[in-house]
Amino acid sequence: LLPIALPLLVLVGKGLYFIYDIIKKYQKNIAIFIFIILILVGGYFQLARANEIINSKKDSYIQVKDSALWMKENSNLDDVIFSKSVTQVTYYAQRRTQGFGENQTEFKQGVKKNRPKYIVFSVFEPHGKTLEYPQIFNNSLEPVQAYFADKEKQQPILVVYKFKNYDL
């Protein structure tokens, strides 16, 4: 929509000015009044639509927020968290959060260097082959918190794993 925003703004402005010019010939005050009413009505509909969009999206990443708050309650200030949702987890957990490598070598080096307490896997960020890490490193990773898409708890959308040890 951004590429058409400027031409659309010009078109609406020209249309409003055209209506203003027609009415101004008969009564200038009425023309100004109608111009202001059209601007206010258009603004109202834009604000109503923006509010609708904001409210529909406000809980879209609620599981990331909830998991980060859970990790905040269950960790120390100096603990490290591995997550692909670095910004959100850092904000809510208030812990040092960083991404983890795209391959096993980088992952192992990051774990040995940072000794994270938790690692988070979710559907909200692309994980690629790293989604296999809980099965590959099952002796080191223990699921401690999970969030599901369904009430039957069959489709996990976010899982928090705790590092039991750092021997990968």
pLDDT digits 0-9 by tens, 10-58: 998 898 888 888 888 888 888 888 888 988 998 999 999 999 999 998 8
Element (H, E) at 162: strand 156-163
Q: What is the mean pLDDT of the chain?
A: 91
Please, which residues bridge with residue 45 across strands? none
Burial (CB < 10 A; 0-12, 13-18, 19+), residue 133, is: buried
Is the Cβ–Cβ distance between 76 and 116 less than 8 Å? Answer: no
Q: Please state, in angstroms and as integers, the Cα–Cα distance from residue 34 to each residue in 15, 46, 51, 105, following that order.
A: 13, 18, 26, 68
Greatest Cα pair distance, the chain, in angstroms, is: 85
Rounded average pLDDT over 87-97: 96
Quote the pTM value: 0.72
CA 133, CA 126: separation in Å to the nearest integer?
A: 14
Q: What confidence score (pLDDT) does residue 102 get?
A: 84
Residue 111 has pLDDT above 90, yes or no: yes
